[in-house]
Amino acid sequence: MKKTFPEKFLWGAATAAHQVEGNNTHSDYWTMEKLEGTTFKEPSGDAVDHYRMYREDIALMAELGLNTYRFSIEWARIEPQEGIFNVEALDHYRVVLAACQESGITPIVTMHHFSSPKWLITVGGWESEGTPARFARYCEYVMSELGSMIPYVCTINEANISVGIAKVIKQFTAGKETFAQVGLQTDMQQRMVTYYGALGKAFGIDPRQVQHFLSPRTKRGFSLIFEAHMAARVVIRRVSPATKIGLTMSLFDIQASSGGEENAQHEHQEEFLQFIPYLKGDDFFGLQNYSSETYGPDGLMPIPEDAERTQMGYLYNPEALEQVIRYVSKHIDIPIIVTENGTATDNDERRVEFINRAISGVHACIQDGIPVQGYTHWSLLDNFEWMLGYTKTFGLIAVDRNTQKRMPKPSARHLGTIAQSNACPNEY
């Protein structure tokens, strides 16, 4: 029997505004990329000029055979100064949504994907008690204008990301892993001192109070992120009741070796289980996975030396996605959309293999009755990978940044063929 997916399954790819649009001048990241001692490998600059070339990119998605585009609306463009909304920026995203409609592409819109308005940081950022209300005000403005064109909205991308950031910092300071594994300099501690001093000057506040979305969080800061999600959910329900609402989380496939069960359970609690109460009332869950981790009696176990790694230093493990879907489905009873899954590699044959194995796992979950409604690959385009600059290639489509020419990789056409057949790899 042919292994097909449900009718109207969402097949797509994803981007984030700051990583692809270019010249996001009112954002916190635009400021941080240019400071003395910056931890960013390079500034974002024009990125891949998606703010101007969105029509071409959306049309290319449709030509490839994809039917869904997950992208973010940039808060810093919509509200460059607190309480002052930019109608021109709003109209830009209105036209982007119209281009999706014209190409038969279903949009999944993310309201916050890591970058924030610079002004938000000056008033306390993501540790401020006022941030949930400010975020909800922005969401209400956008969704009251554009909600009728947005069938799915993710309020916050990777709302749990600070758990992972704290883990990386702990591993780095313990000497178990180094930032050099993913291409950053090893003199990070001294650079951070210089960098945060410059940050304080740039934002006009004590550098210890600079709290962007990817800063290490206090316990209260964790709560504020999820309270922002809930506040946004309330206003979106009111102004755009037909839009389905969720958030996304980045989740590792967490496994235990003998004696590591307690450590693995602790990681499950930290990364996912503690946040489940905030999801009550959501319409779907945005699941994001890239790899797996194994815990032993002494904690996180190192990746075997002979194992294949991605450019990010992760274990190459496409089967991790299936395991995470199965784990999540045991704890929540709402539909799941895979909002990000992919691999950073300059070997596109390995990307094709990754897609094949990951999608086969998604199908197995659906066959067992798990309500997975879509798969959006990260990412549509090779783009600006935050502190790592343009050195990591996740994209289905390569970009010559000198000319901004788009060059679809074989993996793009491969995923498009799967989408058009609506069947597992090797079944079309």
β pairing state of 372-378 and 299-300: unpaired
Which residues touch 389 (CB under 8 Å, ≥6 apart)? 40, 41, 42
**158 given a catalytic annotation:** yes
- Catalytic residue, chosen from 33, 79, 145, 158, is 158
Q: Are strands 285-289 and 248-250 parallel, antiparallel or unpaired?
A: parallel
Intra-chain end-to-end CA distance of the chain, in Å: 12
What is the CB neighbour count within 10 angstroms for residue 277? 9
CB-based contact 28:114 (threshold 8 Å): no
Q: Report which DSSP code applies to 276.
A: G
Give dist(CA 82, CA 101) in Å, integer: 31
Q: How far apart are CA 4 and CA 13, in angstroms?
A: 20
Contact by Cβ (8 Å): 71, 107: yes
Measured between alpha carbons, how far is 292 from 279 in angstroms, rounded to an integer? Answer: 23
CA 284, chain centre distance (Å): 16
Which residues, 6+ apart, have CB-to-CB distance to 274 below 8 Å?
A: none
**DSSP code for 79:** -
User: Which residues are part of the catalytic machinery?
Assistant: 158
